[in-house]
Amino acid sequence: MVSFVVSPMKLVSLGVMLIGTILSVSSEELVGVWLGLELNLYGFLVIMNPDGHYSPEPCVKYFVVQSTGSILMLVGFVSLMEQHVVSGLVMSTAGTVLKSGVFPLHSWVPSIIKNSSWLASGLMLTWQKVAPLVFLSMILPSKSLWVVIVSMAGIGAVGGLNQNSVRVMSAYSSFVHTSWMLLGVTWSSVVFVGYFAVYSLSVGLFFYGCSLMNKMSMGSQLSSAASGMGLLMLMGMPPFLGFLAKVLVFLMSGSPVIVACIMGSVISLKFYIDFFYSMVMKSLVDKNKVEVKAIWSLVICMNIMGGALILVSFI
Dihedral of alpha carbons 96, 150, 122, 60, sign: negative
Instruction: From residue 261, give the alpha-carbon distance in Å to each of 122, 178, 198.
Output: 22, 10, 17
Neighbours of 278 (CB within 10 A): 12
Instruction: From residue 128, give the alpha-carbon distance in Å to each of 7, 28, 94, 114, 133.
Output: 21, 20, 17, 16, 9
Those residues whose C-beta lies under 8 Å from the C-beta of residue 304, and which sit 6 or more positions away, are: 239
Q: Cis link prior to 256 (omega < 30° from 0)? A: no
Task: Tell me how many degrees the CA angle 194-204-268 measures, rounded to the nearest 5.
Answer: 75
Let me know how long the chain is: 315
Report which DSSP code applies to 127.
G
- Report d(CA 194, CA 231) in Å as an integer: 18
Q: What is the pLDDT of residues 235-277, one digit of tens each?
A: 887 777 888 888 888 888 777 888 999 999 888 888 888 887 7
Q: Taking residues 88-113, what's their average pLDDT?
A: 91
CB 283 within 8 A of CB 224: yes
CB 185 within 8 A of CB 297: no
Q: Can you state the percent helix, strand and coil of the chain, rounding each to 5?
A: 80, 0, 20
Q: What is the pLDDT of residues 22-65, one digit of tens each?
A: 999 988 888 899 999 999 999 898 888 766 666 788 889 999 99
Q: What is the pLDDT of residues 156-214, one digit of tens each?
A: 999 888 888 888 999 999 999 999 999 988 888 888 998 999 999 999 988 888 887 65
Taking alpha carbons only, the member of 72, 71, 77, 100 closest to residue 30 is: 77
pTM to 2 decimal places: 0.84
Q: Which amino acid does the sequence have at 112? A: I
Task: Kindly indicate the confidence band of residue 311, based on its pLDDT and cuts at 50, 70 and 90.
Answer: low
